[in-house]
Copies of this chain bind each other. A is one copy, B any other.
Amino acid sequence: MSSAERALETATRARTRRAILDAAVTVLSQDPTASLGDIAAAAGVGRTTLHRYFPERSALQHDLGSDALERIDDAAERAHLARGSAPEALGRLCQELFELGDLLMLIFSDPQFTQSAAWTEYTASDRAIIELVESGHRDGTVDPELPPEWVQNLLWSLLYSAWQHASTEHVTKHQALSLCLRTLRKSIAA
């Protein structure tokens, strides 16, 4: 479903759609093989209703991917990546992305999503990370030995680690994020 079609939905339908997508993130991040029935139940709607919005499982996955992409780009927007040094900007991006919570787990664990939609080619935020690292290389604020793609991978897996750390160990989200940022900063320092 395109955003143009979505814009024509009534408020009620938009709310229901939102509830299903949110429930899907929660449920699928715990168990990527969860059935549509489980997702519908978590969303508080009937399985029939879910099928009304997403005729097939793949349709749900597709829209989930688009939705995630949107949220990530919004986070990148909020991080004001052009401001300050590259490491500072990456730190802010990390903070914003961390707020995505369960969505991180889903994106990270299930390559299904990152393959569909606009994910295959570089997304806006992915490109932004690459450019940030390259600019950091030029002005000497980022370790020149680290390729941009590695830093990108690193950032995502640190986020994953941090969220996992916050979930399993007895630490607050703030502490986990703090460790994540500290580790990222030290890793990329020249």
Residues of A within 8 A of B (CB): 32-33, 109, 143, 145-147, 149-150, 153-154, 156-158, 160-161, 164-165, 169, 171, 179, 182-183, 186-187, 189
Contacts and interface: CB of A to CB of B under 8 A. Distances in A.
Nearest to A179: B150
A154 B183 contact: yes
A108 to B, nearest CB: 9
A169 B147 CA distance: 11
B161 A157 contact: yes
A127 to B, nearest CB: 16
A147 B171 CA distance: 11
Contacts of A169: 147, 149
A161 to B, nearest CB: 4
Q: Which 9 A-B pairs have the closest CB atoms?
A: A157-B157, A157-B161, A153-B161, A183-B187, A150-B179, A187-B187, A153-B165, A149-B169, A186-B187
